[in-house]
Amino acid sequence: MKRRLKQTAVVMASALVLTTGVIPYPSVSMSAYAAEVGVTDASELTAGVYYVPVSLKNAANINNASAAASCIKSYGKLTVKEDGSRVLEITLTTLEKFGMYGNASNIKVYSSYEDYSSSQLIDATVLTTRTASSGMANAATQVTAPEKVSVTLPYTDKDGIYLSMFVEEMKMTTDAFLKIDLSQSISATELQAAMAKADTIKESLYTTTSYQAVVTALNQVKEMEGNTAITQSDVDAATTNLATAMDKLVLKDGTYTVPLSIYQAGKETLSMVNSGVEPNATVVVKDGKPTMNVTFKAVSHYGFTGYMSKVSTLANITFNGKVPEKYDLVDASVISTYDVVDEYNKTDSTVVECAGVKYPKEVQFTTSFEGTDTWLNLYVPAMAAFGSGNQLVRLRADYNNAVIVSKEEVTTPEVTPEVTPEVKPEVKPEVSPETTPEVAATITLNKKTATIYTSGTKTVQLTASVTGKDQAVAYRSSNRNVATVNGNGKVTAVKAGTATITATANGVSATCKVTVKKSSIKLNKTKATIYTAGTKTVTVKPTVVGSSSKVTYKSSNSKVAKVSSTGKITAVKKGTATITETANGVRATCKVTVKKPSLKVNKTKVTLKKGKKVTIKATATPAKKVTFKTSNKKIAKVNNKGVITAVKKGTTKITVSCNGVKKTVRVVVK
């Protein structure tokens, strides 16, 4: 045993030498890297949250992976603040090498990029911890280890930062370079905002089913964050799923006081009539359906005061963008009114709709938990003079800050049990049970073969059908470097290759051969030249290998060249632009040069005698049809091939045109 530990220590020491060397290596700026691959410069990231690929590299040579590379997950979360500062959050995992488990801890960041090892060390912040395996694999113990840590980037013009960390498996502190690939950053600002909102949801307020839908959506986000490849479509879908789940939260049956506000129809701005509503409504929920009681009061705005004379909800809405275009009005029920008479509601008022009508105080209407906004139409006669008597607004209820007034109690009536006379059981002769033959154990999988990809569709779900005493199934991958499988049969791609997934139960097994292919995208052109006139367009045609054939296109400079959703590139003005095509999270680029068209003629002046001919030769770039026109065909005429014929004595000019460019040839006839 001692000899084996000694051999392991030697191997680990060798790996450590590869990781901790301090050989100087040329710095690589992020802007240079971005220019090389044709993406937006890192400095152009606006304030927000992004998922960014991260990888741990050898500190001595940042082109090589660190021996501890597998101790971090492949994506970090980068927060860019309004002042330009950046905070990176990374997720740590357990390192497994040489038959041992280990974890990284005590992470620090070097404050300088150049000559990093002599610069100051800054502590990373541990955000969360986890229970992890430690020690020899055959005798591992459970320890508490960092899970998520955050660091403020001391410099933002490089493609990574230098770290110091203690790696438990190596029993030493080592240096590494954390590469941050900002060129592949994925916007997650809206998703993080939705997650922050979800974290504030109070479980006690909502029905189990609707709350569980939010929990499921959050778990899907966490599962996505653990993937080795994340796409913008993944993030957008997760954002939509979580927002939809929160919009469908349903309060439990009962009576609540709910904060509310009134917003303008098309903006996230309070409406001017917000001053005309009490800040809390009473909401009664029965059988999952809410009825809302709202108290209105006089609106005070721009020096005038006026009451609502009519409150209606909108039904059967057809939207134009975010604003209702067509709808039906449903009058709210008036519970109480104000004893106020003014020039608008007096009996002889010229405002016919209000004459003799009492202003509503408390109104009631049914609403929905589908979103938190209820569309209303409020008529304020005092505002009609300004052309805005009808106010189309959104009433927003803050259900998550609802206060329970009373719960709907369901009581079960007390039942007096009936007295049943004692009946003595009939005594039957004892019968020996028949012996049931044991069913032979079998196991089958829903798939015998499957193909997944390194990005895009990275997973496949295997489902086992089992007969036998024990229904528990154990799954195993023959090559975890190609594909892994969890305890529920979910197979995840790691890299291109093949692996056999074996499912075992009751001593029998079934297999599925999994082929992992590398997602790729190739273009029919990597360079193209187009012009501001003439040949203004070119189409790039991608060849995609992956689970989805959908390709997105983006121009690095749409002021030079723009690109359509089908890959058609159109020139805008002279310059260069890089067109990036993305499919299944993989990118390819085409460099486009936009030039102005040119036109050259072999002569700018000719002298002819009457009846003589001469040919003007024109060269156009791009090559298009050239036209010739004389200013005076009584002196000289020209055909469509540029042949000039002298007619009579005099001077005229021939205009040569192509692609919007013109040249003139002076003709003298003697």
Question: What number does CATH give the domain 520-595?
Answer: 2.60.40.1080
pTM of the model: 0.48
DSSP symbols for 316-375: EEEEETTEEEEEEEEEPEEEEE-----TTTSTT-S-TTTTTPPPEEEEEEE--SSSSEEE
Q: Are 169 and 95 a contacting pair, CB within 8 Å?
A: yes
State mean pLDDT over 524-530. 90
Question: How far lies 286's CA from each of 289, 291, 294, 363, 405, in Å?
Answer: 5, 8, 18, 18, 14
Tell me the pLDDT tens digit for each residue of 103-144.
888 999 999 988 888 889 999 999 988 888 888 767 778 888
Which comes out higher in pLDDT, residue 580 or 16? 580
Residue 599 has pLDDT above 80, yes or no: yes
The residue length of the chain stands at: 670
Q: How far apart, in whole angstroms, are the C-alpha atoms of residue 308 and residue 300?
A: 11
pLDDT the model gives residue 418: 39
Q: How far apart, in whole angstroms, are the C-alpha atoms of residue 521 and residue 583?
A: 7
pLDDT the model gives residue 426: 43
pLDDT the model gives residue 386: 67
Quick one: how far is CA 553 from the chain centroid?
16
Chain mean pLDDT for the chain: 82
Buried b (16+ CB within 10 A) or exposed e, 275-309: ebbeebbbbbbeeeebebbbbbebbebeeeebbbb
598-669: in CATH 2.60.40.1080: yes
pLDDT the model gives residue 439: 62
pLDDT the model gives residue 512: 94
**pLDDT-above-70 percentage for the chain:** 87
State mean pLDDT over 344-353. 85
Neighbouring C-beta atoms of residue 137, cutoff 10 Å: 12
**pLDDT-above-90 percentage for the chain:** 31
Q: How confident is the model at residue 385 (pLDDT cuts 50, 70, 90)?
A: low
Tell me the pLDDT tens digit for each residue of 150-209.
999 998 888 899 999 888 766 788 899 999 988 888 888 889 888 888 888 888 888 888
Torsion 571-577-583-588 (CA) sign: positive
Tell me the pLDDT tens digit for each residue of 572-594.
999 999 999 988 888 889 999 99
Please determine whether the domains at 48-187 and 520-595 fall in the same fold group of CATH: yes
Structural domain boundaries of the chain?
48-187, 189-248, 254-404, 442-517, 520-595, 598-669
Our CA angle for 601, 604, 609, nearest 5°, is 115
Tell me the pLDDT tens digit for each residue of 260-271.
999 998 888 998
Tell me the pLDDT tens digit for each residue of 19-31.
333 333 333 333 3
pLDDT the model gives residue 158: 85
Which comes out higher in pLDDT, residue 473 or 491? 491
**3-state DSSP: the chain helix, strand, coil percent, rounded to 5?**
15, 45, 40
pLDDT the model gives residue 372: 64
State mean pLDDT over 532-549. 86
pLDDT the model gives residue 214: 86
Question: What number does CATH give the domain 254-404?
Answer: 2.60.40.1850
Residue 424 has pLDDT above 80, yes or no: no
Q: How far apart, in whole angstroms, are the C-alpha atoms of residue 620 and residue 656?
A: 10
Residue for token pair 């999270």: 585
State mean pLDDT over 276-288. 91
Q: Are 434 and 467 a contacting pair, CB within 8 Å?
A: no
Q: How far apart, in whole angstroms, are the C-alpha atoms of residue 244 and residue 199?
A: 15
Residue 365 has pLDDT above 60, yes or no: yes
Residue 429 has pLDDT above 80, yes or no: no
Residue 410 has pLDDT above 80, yes or no: no
Q: Are 483 and 492 a contacting pair, CB within 8 Å?
A: yes
pLDDT the model gives residue 627: 93
Residue 436 has pLDDT above 50, yes or no: no
pLDDT the model gives residue 126: 92
Tell me the pLDDT tens digit for each residue of 625-643.
999 999 998 899 999 989 9
pLDDT the model gives residue 445: 92
Q: How far apart, in whole angstroms, are the C-alpha atoms of residue 307 and residue 303?
A: 14
Q: Which CATH architecture has domain 48-187?
A: Sandwich (2.60)
Q: Which fold has domain 442-517?
A: Immunoglobulin-like (2.60.40)
Which comes out higher in pLDDT, residue 576 or 18? 576
Q: How far apart, in whole angstroms, are the C-alpha atoms of residue 541 and residue 523?
A: 6
Tell me the pLDDT tens digit for each residue of 63-88.
898 888 888 888 889 999 888 889 99
pLDDT the model gives residue 437: 53
Tell me the pLDDT tens digit for each residue of 306-318.
898 999 999 999 9
Which comes out higher in pLDDT, residue 336 or 201? 336
What are the phi and psi torsion angles at 591 (to 5°)?
A: -85, 125
pLDDT the model gives residue 557: 92
